[in-house]
Amino acid sequence: MRGRPTRRANAIPLASAEDAVCKSLQGVFYLIDIVGVSAENCRPTLDCRNPTMSQLANQIAVVTGAGRGIGRAIALKFAAEGADVACVSRTVENAEKVALEVRALGRRAWAYAVDVADSASVEAAGARILAEAGRVDILVNNAGVTRDGLLMRMGDEDWDLVMDTNLKGAFSFTKAFARGLIKQRAGRIINVASVVGLIGNAGQCNYAASKAGLIGFTKSVARELASRGITVNALAPGFIETDMTAVLNEQSRAELVKRIPLGCLGQTGDIAEAALFLASPAARYITGQVLAVDGGMVM
Ligand SMILES: NC(=O)c1ccc[n+]([C@@H]2O[C@H](COP(=O)([O-])OP(=O)(O)OC[C@H]3O[C@@H](n4cnc5c(N)ncnc54)[C@H](OP(=O)(O)O)[C@@H]3O)[C@@H](O)[C@H]2O)c1
């Protein structure tokens, strides 16, 4: 029987819960080693030697719709975990405000006012981001809008705006960075869909179609890019407290809460934590998935 390798024998003392995970993984690898199976490709990239290391150190992220709500929370969470962030928003004020907040966390940030529904603007912005940031490692397609109405009353304008922003916007931004990610043979793409894309919602046929489309897009691009080490996943938030849901009156809110097993609306931080997980080394073997963060609405 082979002896235990020196690198693992010298591992730092285990103190935290994260250390305990590392310890059990080390045990598993030790067992694999003694039965003679080479597990090098299957080892997680969790760094067991430094569990406190920032999860996104030296990464460059682009977050669309970063100016408010969920996008802002993701941009700040990523920055707190060591990423530099390109903040894309419809308005220059909101993009710049969040870029300032990112810089206050000690990271580099760039602000871009871009209408994601306009593919020519996205292409130009993508080129500027690559020129200014140097490269992109993580793309979060989060920008989104609602224009609710019953099918029989919905006009083309409301249909087109929602599809162009929520679905074509993600397509255009993904295209803008795909070539670079493929060259790097690494990258993360996270698309912010919605539970409504999974279960539908009366009065939101345009929005639900855009989010269901985004889920199909996620799975297809995940298959296209997997061989290059790029993961593509979707988040499906339930009802989250942001400007988007602030329009709900008390009665609708109470009705909504009845449909949520955990009994409350989610917070932007709940989605940011899930995005961080999908962007982190811990999720390296997850692609083409939809992670519902919804208090149990869809199960
Ligand atoms: N809140 C929820 O309950 C919920 C649930 C499920 C899914 N989602 C999804 O989560 C994402 C974020 O939602 P949220 O609640 O944070 O929304 P929000 O508070 O309304 O913020 C939307 C963000 O998207 C940006 N944006 C909108 N249209 C854009 C465009 N054409 N080009 C560029 N940026 C644009 C806005 O820019 P400005 O700030 O510059 O206006 C804003 O920063 C959306 O995709 C939404 O569909 C939200």
Kindly report, residue by residue over 172-205, the tens digit of the pLDDT: 999 999 999 999 999 999 999 999 999 999 999 9
Question: What is the Cα–Cα distance from 80 to 99, expressed in whole angstroms?
Answer: 13
Whether the pLDDT of residue 39 is over 50: the answer is: no
Strand order of the β-sheet with 138-141 is 109-113, 84-89, 60-64, 138-141, 187-192, 230-237, 290-293
Q: Is 207 a catalytic residue?
A: yes
Beta-carbon contacts of 262 under 8 Å, excluding residues fewer than 6 positions away, are 295, 296
Residue identified by tokens 């760094």 is 47
User: Would residue 20 count as lying in a domain?
Assistant: no
User: Average pLDDT, stretch 36-57?
Assistant: 52
- Per the prediction, the chain carries an average pLDDT of 87
Residue 237 Cα, ligand 1 centroid: separation in angstroms? 12
Kindly report, residue by residue over 143-157, the tens digit of the pLDDT: 999 999 999 999 999
| pLDDT, position 45 | 43
Whether the pLDDT of residue 33 is over 70: the answer is: no
Whether 67 lines ligand 1, by a CB cut-off of 6 Å, is yes
User: Would residue 141 count as lying in a domain?
Assistant: yes
Whether the pLDDT of residue 240 is over 70: the answer is: yes
Which ligand 1 atom lies nearest to the CA of residue 117? 31
Question: What is the Cα–Cα distance from 76 to 46, expressed in whole angstroms?
Answer: 22
Question: What is the Cα–Cα distance from 191 to 273, expressed in whole angstroms?
Answer: 14
Domain that holds residue 181: 56-293
Whether 242 lines ligand 1, by a CB cut-off of 6 Å, is yes
Q: Mean pLDDT lowest for which of 11-20, 242-251, 276-285?
A: 11-20
| pLDDT, position 294 | 98
| pLDDT, position 6 | 35
**Concatenated DSSP letters for the chain?**
-PPPPHHHHTPPPP-SHHHHHHHHHHHHHHHHHHTT---GGG-----TT-TTS-TTTT-EEEEETTTSHHHHHHHHHHHHTT-EEEEEESSHHHHHHHHHHHHHTT--EEEEE--TT-HHHHHHHHHHHHHHHS--SEEEE-------B-GGG--HHHHHHHHIIIIIHHHHHHHHHHHHHHHHT-EEEEEE--THHHH--TTBHHHHHHHHHHHHHHHHHHHHHGGGTEEEEEEEE-SBSSHHHHT--HHHHHHHHHT-TTSS-B-HHHHHHHHHHHHSGGGTT--S-EEEESTTS--
Give the side-chain half-sphere CA count within 13 A for 97: 14
| pLDDT, position 52 | 59
**What CATH number is given to the structural domain containing 151?**
3.40.50.720
Whether the pLDDT of residue 58 is over 60: the answer is: yes
pLDDT confidence bin for 85, thresholds 50/70/90: very high
User: Would residue 285 count as lying in a domain?
Assistant: yes
Question: What is the Cα–Cα distance from 73 to 145, expressed in whole angstroms?
Answer: 17
> Measured between alpha carbons, how far is residue 219 from residues 163, 171, 190, 222, 233 in Å?
18, 13, 11, 5, 7
User: Would residue 33 count as lying in a domain?
Assistant: no
Whether 267 lines ligand 1, by a CB cut-off of 6 Å, is no
pLDDT confidence bin for 248, thresholds 50/70/90: confident
User: Would residue 18 count as lying in a domain?
Assistant: no
pLDDT confidence bin for 266, thresholds 50/70/90: very high
Residue 66 Cα, ligand 1 centroid: separation in angstroms? 8
User: Average pLDDT, stretch 127-154?
Assistant: 98
| pLDDT, position 48 | 40
CA dihedral 286, 287, 288, 290 (to 10 degrees): 40
| pLDDT, position 53 | 73
User: Would residue 261 count as lying in a domain?
Assistant: yes
Q: How many domains does the chain have?
A: 1
Whether 295 lines ligand 1, by a CB cut-off of 6 Å, is no
Question: What is the Cα–Cα distance from 281 to 211, expressed in whole angstroms?
Answer: 26
Burial grade of 236 (CB within 10 A; 0-12, 13-18, 19 or more)? buried
User: Would residue 9 count as lying in a domain?
Assistant: no
Whether the pLDDT of residue 27 is over 50: the answer is: no
Nearest to 210 by CA among 241, 174, 148, 168: 168
User: Would residue 93 count as lying in a domain?
Assistant: yes
